[in-house]
Structure 1
Amino acid sequence: MSSRTCLNCGGTAIDVDQARGDAVCMGCGSVLEDNIIVSEVEFADRGGSARAMGQFVAGDSGGKNPNFGDAYHTGRESRAQTLSNAKNNINTLGRQLQMNQHCLDTAYNFYKMALNKRLTYGRRSAHVVAACLYLVCRTEGTPHMLLDLSDILQVNVYVLGKTFLVLARELCINAPAIGTGPQLTITVTS
Protein backbone atom coordinates (compact mmCIF):
# COMPACT_ATOMS: atom_id res chain seq x y z
CA MET A 1 0.00 0.00 0.00
CA SER A 2 1.06 3.58 -0.57
CA SER A 3 0.36 7.10 0.82
CA ARG A 4 -0.94 8.27 -2.58
CA THR A 5 -4.52 9.24 -3.32
CA CYS A 6 -6.63 8.17 -6.30
CA LEU A 7 -7.59 11.01 -8.64
CA ASN A 8 -10.84 9.21 -9.65
CA CYS A 9 -12.40 8.23 -6.30
CA GLY A 10 -10.13 9.97 -3.77
CA GLY A 11 -9.26 6.64 -2.12
CA THR A 12 -5.94 6.18 -0.37
CA ALA A 13 -5.72 2.39 -0.72
CA ILE A 14 -3.19 2.25 -3.57
CA ASP A 15 -1.38 -1.00 -4.40
CA VAL A 16 2.08 -0.40 -5.88
CA ASP A 17 3.53 -3.55 -7.44
CA GLN A 18 7.25 -3.13 -8.21
CA ALA A 19 7.39 -6.41 -10.14
CA ARG A 20 4.66 -5.36 -12.58
CA GLY A 21 5.70 -1.70 -12.48
CA ASP A 22 2.25 -0.27 -11.81
CA ALA A 23 0.09 1.43 -9.15
CA VAL A 24 -3.61 0.49 -8.87
CA CYS A 25 -6.37 2.01 -6.71
CA MET A 26 -7.90 -0.74 -4.55
CA GLY A 27 -11.18 1.21 -4.24
CA CYS A 28 -12.14 1.75 -7.89
CA GLY A 29 -9.54 -0.36 -9.74
CA SER A 30 -8.05 2.52 -11.73
CA VAL A 31 -4.47 2.13 -12.92
CA LEU A 32 -2.78 5.27 -11.60
CA GLU A 33 0.73 4.60 -12.86
CA ASP A 34 2.10 2.19 -15.43
CA ASN A 35 5.72 1.21 -16.24
CA ILE A 36 7.10 2.72 -13.05
CA ILE A 37 10.87 3.11 -13.14
CA VAL A 38 12.49 3.26 -9.73
CA SER A 39 15.84 4.74 -8.86
CA GLU A 40 16.75 2.03 -6.39
CA VAL A 41 19.85 -0.11 -6.63
CA GLU A 42 19.41 -3.76 -5.75
CA PHE A 43 22.40 -5.94 -4.91
CA ALA A 44 22.76 -9.69 -5.23
CA ASP A 45 25.41 -12.07 -3.93
CA ARG A 46 27.35 -13.71 -6.77
CA GLY A 47 30.11 -16.04 -5.72
CA GLY A 48 31.00 -14.15 -2.56
CA SER A 49 30.89 -10.67 -4.08
CA ALA A 50 28.05 -8.19 -4.26
CA ARG A 51 26.93 -7.01 -7.71
CA ALA A 52 24.45 -4.32 -8.69
CA MET A 53 21.35 -5.72 -10.38
CA GLY A 54 19.57 -3.83 -13.12
CA GLN A 55 20.48 -0.33 -14.14
CA PHE A 56 20.25 2.90 -12.18
CA VAL A 57 18.26 5.59 -13.98
CA ALA A 58 18.21 9.00 -12.32
CA GLY A 59 15.50 11.54 -13.13
CA ASP A 60 18.09 14.15 -14.11
CA SER A 61 20.39 11.83 -16.07
CA GLY A 62 19.13 12.82 -19.50
CA GLY A 63 19.48 9.24 -20.77
CA LYS A 64 23.18 8.90 -19.94
CA ASN A 65 24.55 5.86 -18.18
CA PRO A 66 26.02 6.66 -14.78
CA ASN A 67 29.53 5.59 -13.87
CA PHE A 68 29.54 3.05 -11.04
CA GLY A 69 33.31 3.21 -10.62
CA ASP A 70 36.48 1.94 -12.24
CA ALA A 71 35.11 -1.54 -12.88
CA TYR A 72 32.24 -0.19 -15.00
CA HIS A 73 33.25 0.90 -18.49
CA THR A 74 31.29 2.15 -21.47
CA GLY A 75 32.23 2.79 -25.08
CA ARG A 76 35.67 4.33 -25.45
CA GLU A 77 36.78 3.42 -21.93
CA SER A 78 36.11 -0.26 -22.62
CA ARG A 79 37.90 -0.15 -25.97
CA ALA A 80 40.89 1.59 -24.39
CA GLN A 81 40.99 -1.07 -21.67
CA THR A 82 40.79 -3.85 -24.27
CA LEU A 83 43.67 -2.35 -26.25
CA SER A 84 45.74 -1.82 -23.11
CA ASN A 85 45.24 -5.44 -22.04
CA ALA A 86 46.10 -6.65 -25.54
CA LYS A 87 49.29 -4.59 -25.63
CA ASN A 88 50.36 -5.95 -22.23
CA ASN A 89 49.61 -9.53 -23.32
CA ILE A 90 51.44 -9.09 -26.64
CA ASN A 91 54.48 -7.67 -24.84
CA THR A 92 54.48 -10.45 -22.24
CA LEU A 93 54.14 -13.26 -24.77
CA GLY A 94 56.52 -11.64 -27.24
CA ARG A 95 59.22 -11.17 -24.60
CA GLN A 96 58.98 -14.87 -23.74
CA LEU A 97 59.78 -15.56 -27.39
CA GLN A 98 62.55 -12.90 -27.31
CA MET A 99 60.93 -10.87 -30.10
CA ASN A 100 62.15 -7.34 -30.79
CA GLN A 101 60.06 -4.18 -30.25
CA HIS A 102 59.32 -3.77 -33.96
CA CYS A 103 57.66 -7.20 -34.03
CA LEU A 104 55.68 -6.44 -30.88
CA ASP A 105 54.45 -3.14 -32.32
CA THR A 106 53.45 -4.83 -35.56
CA ALA A 107 51.54 -7.52 -33.65
CA TYR A 108 49.74 -4.79 -31.70
CA ASN A 109 48.78 -3.11 -34.99
CA PHE A 110 47.43 -6.44 -36.27
CA TYR A 111 45.39 -6.73 -33.06
CA LYS A 112 43.93 -3.24 -33.56
CA MET A 113 43.00 -4.17 -37.12
CA ALA A 114 41.32 -7.37 -35.89
CA LEU A 115 39.44 -5.41 -33.24
CA ASN A 116 38.23 -2.87 -35.80
CA LYS A 117 36.94 -5.68 -38.03
CA ARG A 118 35.30 -7.32 -35.00
CA LEU A 119 37.41 -10.47 -35.37
CA THR A 120 38.09 -10.61 -31.62
CA TYR A 121 34.45 -11.24 -30.74
CA GLY A 122 33.78 -14.83 -29.73
CA ARG A 123 37.46 -15.65 -29.53
CA ARG A 124 39.68 -15.89 -26.49
CA SER A 125 41.95 -12.89 -26.14
CA ALA A 126 45.02 -15.09 -25.67
CA HIS A 127 44.29 -16.88 -28.96
CA VAL A 128 43.95 -13.61 -30.89
CA VAL A 129 47.14 -12.25 -29.32
CA ALA A 130 49.03 -15.43 -30.21
CA ALA A 131 47.67 -15.37 -33.76
CA CYS A 132 48.76 -11.73 -34.17
CA LEU A 133 52.25 -12.58 -32.94
CA TYR A 134 52.41 -15.55 -35.29
CA LEU A 135 51.31 -13.31 -38.18
CA VAL A 136 54.35 -11.18 -37.42
CA CYS A 137 56.57 -14.26 -37.26
CA ARG A 138 55.38 -15.30 -40.72
CA THR A 139 55.56 -11.85 -42.33
CA GLU A 140 58.92 -10.92 -40.78
CA GLY A 141 60.46 -14.37 -41.20
CA THR A 142 61.37 -14.91 -37.54
CA PRO A 143 62.34 -18.45 -36.51
CA HIS A 144 59.26 -19.04 -34.34
CA MET A 145 56.65 -21.71 -34.93
CA LEU A 146 53.00 -21.81 -33.94
CA LEU A 147 53.92 -24.73 -31.72
CA ASP A 148 56.11 -22.39 -29.64
CA LEU A 149 53.11 -20.16 -28.90
CA SER A 150 50.96 -23.21 -28.24
CA ASP A 151 53.47 -24.52 -25.68
CA ILE A 152 53.68 -21.22 -23.82
CA LEU A 153 49.90 -20.75 -23.66
CA GLN A 154 49.15 -24.45 -23.13
CA VAL A 155 46.58 -24.30 -25.95
CA ASN A 156 45.93 -26.80 -28.73
CA VAL A 157 48.01 -25.82 -31.76
CA TYR A 158 45.06 -26.47 -34.09
CA VAL A 159 42.91 -23.95 -32.20
CA LEU A 160 45.62 -21.31 -32.60
CA GLY A 161 46.08 -22.29 -36.24
CA LYS A 162 42.39 -21.78 -36.94
CA THR A 163 42.46 -18.31 -35.35
CA PHE A 164 45.63 -17.47 -37.30
CA LEU A 165 44.07 -18.51 -40.62
CA VAL A 166 40.91 -16.46 -39.96
CA LEU A 167 42.95 -13.35 -39.10
CA ALA A 168 45.27 -13.74 -42.09
CA ARG A 169 42.34 -14.17 -44.47
CA GLU A 170 40.08 -11.43 -43.05
CA LEU A 171 42.90 -8.89 -42.64
CA CYS A 172 44.19 -9.70 -46.14
CA ILE A 173 47.70 -10.38 -44.85
CA ASN A 174 49.87 -12.54 -47.07
CA ALA A 175 51.67 -14.82 -44.64
CA PRO A 176 54.45 -16.56 -46.58
CA ALA A 177 54.98 -20.24 -46.02
CA ILE A 178 57.67 -21.27 -43.57
CA GLY A 179 61.05 -22.02 -45.08
CA THR A 180 60.83 -19.73 -48.10
CA GLY A 181 64.19 -18.18 -47.29
CA PRO A 182 67.56 -19.18 -48.74
CA GLN A 183 68.00 -22.93 -49.06
CA LEU A 184 70.98 -24.69 -47.59
CA THR A 185 72.52 -27.36 -49.81
CA ILE A 186 74.74 -29.97 -48.28
CA THR A 187 77.06 -31.92 -50.54
CA VAL A 188 78.41 -35.19 -49.29
CA THR A 189 81.67 -36.42 -50.79
CA SER A 190 82.92 -39.90 -50.41
Structure 2
Amino acid sequence: MSGKKCKHCGSSEIEVDPARGDAVCTNCGSVLEDNIIVAEVEFQENAHGGASAIGQFVSAETKGGASGFGRAFNAGIGQESREVTLRKARDGITALCQQLRLNQQCIDISCNFFKMALARHLTIGRQSALTQAACVYMTCRTEGTAHLLIDVSDAIQLCCYQLGRTYFKLSRALCINIPPNGK
Protein backbone atom coordinates (compact mmCIF):
# COMPACT_ATOMS: atom_id res chain seq x y z
CA MET A 1 0.00 0.00 0.00
CA SER A 2 1.17 3.50 -0.69
CA GLY A 3 -0.16 7.07 -0.57
CA LYS A 4 -0.99 7.01 -4.30
CA LYS A 5 -4.45 7.08 -5.85
CA CYS A 6 -5.57 5.22 -8.97
CA LYS A 7 -6.12 7.56 -11.91
CA HIS A 8 -8.86 5.26 -13.28
CA CYS A 9 -11.08 4.60 -10.24
CA GLY A 10 -9.68 6.88 -7.50
CA SER A 11 -8.99 4.01 -5.11
CA SER A 12 -6.05 4.26 -2.75
CA GLU A 13 -5.67 0.46 -2.61
CA ILE A 14 -2.41 0.29 -4.57
CA GLU A 15 -0.17 -2.77 -4.39
CA VAL A 16 3.48 -1.97 -5.07
CA ASP A 17 5.68 -5.01 -5.67
CA PRO A 18 9.40 -4.22 -6.05
CA ALA A 19 10.13 -7.83 -7.07
CA ARG A 20 7.81 -7.55 -10.07
CA GLY A 21 8.59 -3.87 -10.59
CA ASP A 22 5.02 -2.66 -10.80
CA ALA A 23 2.24 -0.85 -8.97
CA VAL A 24 -1.29 -2.21 -9.48
CA CYS A 25 -4.67 -0.93 -8.29
CA THR A 26 -6.29 -3.83 -6.43
CA ASN A 27 -9.75 -2.31 -6.95
CA CYS A 28 -9.88 -2.05 -10.76
CA GLY A 29 -6.75 -3.94 -11.88
CA SER A 30 -5.05 -1.04 -13.64
CA VAL A 31 -1.26 -1.13 -13.75
CA LEU A 32 -0.24 2.33 -12.57
CA GLU A 33 3.52 1.83 -12.87
CA ASP A 34 5.45 -0.82 -14.74
CA ASN A 35 9.14 -1.67 -14.95
CA ILE A 36 10.03 0.16 -11.74
CA ILE A 37 13.78 -0.10 -11.24
CA VAL A 38 14.84 -0.73 -7.67
CA ALA A 39 18.27 -0.97 -6.09
CA GLU A 40 17.31 -3.58 -3.49
CA VAL A 41 18.25 -7.22 -3.84
CA GLU A 42 15.73 -9.80 -2.64
CA PHE A 43 16.28 -13.52 -2.30
CA GLN A 44 13.90 -16.41 -1.97
CA GLU A 45 14.51 -19.88 -0.63
CA ASN A 46 13.77 -22.87 -2.84
CA ALA A 47 12.50 -26.30 -1.75
CA HIS A 48 16.05 -27.65 -1.32
CA GLY A 49 17.16 -24.89 1.05
CA GLY A 50 19.09 -22.93 -1.59
CA ALA A 51 18.54 -19.25 -2.29
CA SER A 52 18.05 -17.43 -5.56
CA ALA A 53 17.77 -13.76 -6.42
CA ILE A 54 14.43 -12.34 -7.50
CA GLY A 55 14.18 -9.86 -10.35
CA GLN A 56 16.14 -8.84 -13.40
CA PHE A 57 19.81 -8.09 -13.75
CA VAL A 58 20.54 -5.05 -15.90
CA SER A 59 24.13 -4.81 -17.05
CA ALA A 60 25.80 -1.47 -17.69
CA GLU A 61 27.47 -2.89 -20.81
CA THR A 62 24.32 -4.02 -22.64
CA LYS A 63 21.88 -1.75 -24.44
CA GLY A 64 18.18 -2.23 -23.81
CA GLY A 65 18.43 -5.86 -22.75
CA ALA A 66 18.15 -7.53 -19.41
CA SER A 67 19.22 -10.97 -18.32
CA GLY A 68 16.57 -12.60 -16.22
CA PHE A 69 17.50 -14.66 -13.22
CA GLY A 70 15.60 -16.29 -10.42
CA ARG A 71 13.60 -19.44 -9.95
CA ALA A 72 11.82 -19.36 -13.33
CA PHE A 73 14.74 -18.54 -15.59
CA ASN A 74 15.04 -20.79 -18.62
CA ALA A 75 18.64 -20.58 -19.85
CA GLY A 76 17.88 -22.26 -23.18
CA ILE A 77 15.36 -19.67 -24.32
CA GLY A 78 16.52 -16.60 -22.44
CA GLN A 79 13.05 -15.66 -21.21
CA GLU A 80 11.45 -16.22 -17.86
CA SER A 81 8.44 -18.50 -17.70
CA ARG A 82 6.32 -15.65 -16.34
CA GLU A 83 7.16 -13.47 -19.36
CA VAL A 84 6.16 -16.26 -21.75
CA THR A 85 2.92 -16.86 -19.82
CA LEU A 86 2.04 -13.16 -19.87
CA ARG A 87 2.80 -12.88 -23.60
CA LYS A 88 0.62 -15.90 -24.44
CA ALA A 89 -2.15 -14.56 -22.19
CA ARG A 90 -2.01 -11.14 -23.87
CA ASP A 91 -2.28 -12.83 -27.28
CA GLY A 92 -5.28 -14.93 -26.15
CA ILE A 93 -7.01 -12.01 -24.45
CA THR A 94 -6.42 -9.76 -27.47
CA ALA A 95 -7.93 -12.35 -29.84
CA LEU A 96 -10.98 -12.81 -27.60
CA CYS A 97 -11.48 -9.07 -27.14
CA GLN A 98 -11.27 -8.54 -30.90
CA GLN A 99 -13.91 -11.22 -31.40
CA LEU A 100 -16.15 -9.41 -28.92
CA ARG A 101 -15.27 -6.03 -30.48
CA LEU A 102 -13.80 -4.61 -27.26
CA ASN A 103 -11.37 -1.69 -27.33
CA GLN A 104 -7.69 -1.51 -26.35
CA GLN A 105 -8.51 -0.26 -22.85
CA CYS A 106 -10.54 -3.44 -22.22
CA ILE A 107 -7.63 -5.54 -23.49
CA ASP A 108 -5.26 -3.77 -21.10
CA ILE A 109 -7.59 -4.12 -18.10
CA SER A 110 -8.14 -7.82 -18.87
CA CYS A 111 -4.38 -8.35 -19.08
CA ASN A 112 -3.97 -6.58 -15.73
CA PHE A 113 -6.55 -8.89 -14.15
CA PHE A 114 -4.64 -11.86 -15.57
CA LYS A 115 -1.38 -10.44 -14.23
CA MET A 116 -2.95 -10.11 -10.77
CA ALA A 117 -4.24 -13.70 -10.94
CA LEU A 118 -0.82 -14.94 -12.04
CA ALA A 119 0.92 -13.10 -9.20
CA ARG A 120 -1.42 -14.77 -6.69
CA HIS A 121 -0.94 -18.21 -8.29
CA LEU A 122 -4.62 -18.42 -9.28
CA THR A 123 -3.81 -19.65 -12.78
CA ILE A 124 -2.26 -22.93 -11.61
CA GLY A 125 -4.45 -25.90 -12.48
CA ARG A 126 -6.84 -23.84 -14.59
CA GLN A 127 -7.27 -24.03 -18.32
CA SER A 128 -5.57 -20.91 -19.71
CA ALA A 129 -8.44 -20.12 -22.10
CA LEU A 130 -10.90 -20.17 -19.18
CA THR A 131 -8.72 -17.92 -17.04
CA GLN A 132 -8.23 -15.46 -19.90
CA ALA A 133 -11.96 -15.47 -20.69
CA ALA A 134 -12.84 -14.91 -17.02
CA CYS A 135 -10.52 -11.89 -16.99
CA VAL A 136 -12.21 -10.54 -20.12
CA TYR A 137 -15.66 -11.07 -18.57
CA MET A 138 -14.56 -9.30 -15.37
CA THR A 139 -13.54 -6.39 -17.58
CA CYS A 140 -16.90 -6.45 -19.37
CA ARG A 141 -18.69 -6.28 -16.02
CA THR A 142 -16.50 -3.57 -14.49
CA GLU A 143 -16.54 -1.46 -17.65
CA GLY A 144 -20.30 -1.91 -18.17
CA THR A 145 -20.22 -3.37 -21.68
CA ALA A 146 -23.29 -5.17 -23.08
CA HIS A 147 -21.62 -8.59 -23.11
CA LEU A 148 -23.07 -11.53 -21.21
CA LEU A 149 -21.27 -14.60 -19.87
CA ILE A 150 -22.78 -16.68 -22.68
CA ASP A 151 -21.29 -14.29 -25.29
CA VAL A 152 -17.78 -14.84 -23.93
CA SER A 153 -18.42 -18.58 -23.57
CA ASP A 154 -19.59 -18.85 -27.20
CA ALA A 155 -16.54 -16.92 -28.41
CA ILE A 156 -14.10 -19.37 -26.78
CA GLN A 157 -16.31 -22.44 -27.39
CA LEU A 158 -16.16 -23.62 -23.76
CA CYS A 159 -18.86 -24.45 -21.23
CA CYS A 160 -20.46 -21.33 -19.75
CA TYR A 161 -20.79 -23.06 -16.34
CA GLN A 162 -17.03 -23.67 -16.20
CA LEU A 163 -16.42 -20.08 -17.25
CA GLY A 164 -18.87 -18.83 -14.63
CA ARG A 165 -17.17 -20.82 -11.86
CA THR A 166 -13.74 -19.57 -12.95
CA TYR A 167 -15.00 -15.96 -13.15
CA PHE A 168 -16.57 -16.20 -9.70
CA LYS A 169 -13.46 -17.72 -8.09
CA LEU A 170 -11.10 -15.17 -9.67
CA SER A 171 -13.24 -12.13 -8.91
CA ARG A 172 -13.59 -13.18 -5.25
CA ALA A 173 -9.91 -14.13 -4.82
CA LEU A 174 -8.77 -10.83 -6.38
CA CYS A 175 -11.37 -8.85 -4.35
CA ILE A 176 -12.68 -7.13 -7.49
CA ASN A 177 -15.84 -5.12 -6.84
CA ILE A 178 -18.13 -6.23 -9.66
CA PRO A 179 -21.27 -4.13 -10.20
CA PRO A 180 -24.42 -6.30 -10.14
CA ASN A 181 -25.66 -5.21 -13.60
CA GLY A 182 -22.61 -3.55 -15.12
CA LYS A 183 -21.89 0.12 -14.38
- Please tell me the TM-score bracket, short chain as reference: 0.5 to 0.7
1:120 equivalenced with 2:137 (yes/no): no
Partners of 1:175 and 1:158 in 2: how far apart?
18
Aligned match of 1:150 in 153, 160, 177?
153
Identical counterparts, % of pairs: 49
Structure 1 counterpart SS, 2:146: coil
Partners of 2:145 and 2:157 in 1: how far apart?
21
Query: How far 1:154 moved relative to its partner?
Result: 1.2
Other-structure match for 2:107: 104
User: How high is the TM-score relative to the length of structure 1?
Assistant: 0.55
Alignment of 1:162-181 (within 5 A): 162-178=165-181
Partners of 1:152 and 1:140 in 2: how far apart?
19
Structure number with the higher strand fraction is 2
1:160 equivalenced with 2:163 (yes/no): yes
Structure 1 counterpart SS, 2:80: helix
Larger relative contact order (C-alpha < 8 A, sep ≥ 6)?
Answer: 2
Q: Deviations over 1:110-167 (max 9, x none)?
A: 0000000000000000000000000000001000011011111111100000000001
Query: Could you say what the CA RMSD is over the residues aligned between the two structures, in angstroms?
Result: 1.8
Other-structure match for 2:45: none
Alignment of 1:33-72 (within 5 A): 67=75, 69-70=76-77
Q: Deviations over 1:76-115 (max 9, x none)?
A: 6111000000001010000000001011100000000000
User: How high is the TM-score relative to the length of structure 2?
Assistant: 0.57
Code of the residue aligned with 2:126 in structure 1: it is R
Q: Taking structure 1 as reference, are residues 96 and 177 closer, same or farther at Cα in structure 2, changes over 3 Å only?
A: same
Give the total of aligned pairs: 111
Give the 4+ runs in structure 1 shifted more than 4 A: none
Q: Deviations over 1:29-75 (max 9, x none)?
A: xxxxxxxxxxxxxxxxxxxxxxxxxxxxxxxxxxxx984x44xx7xx
Partners of 2:100 and 2:74 in 1: how far apart?
42
Code of the residue aligned with 1:106 in structure 2: it is I
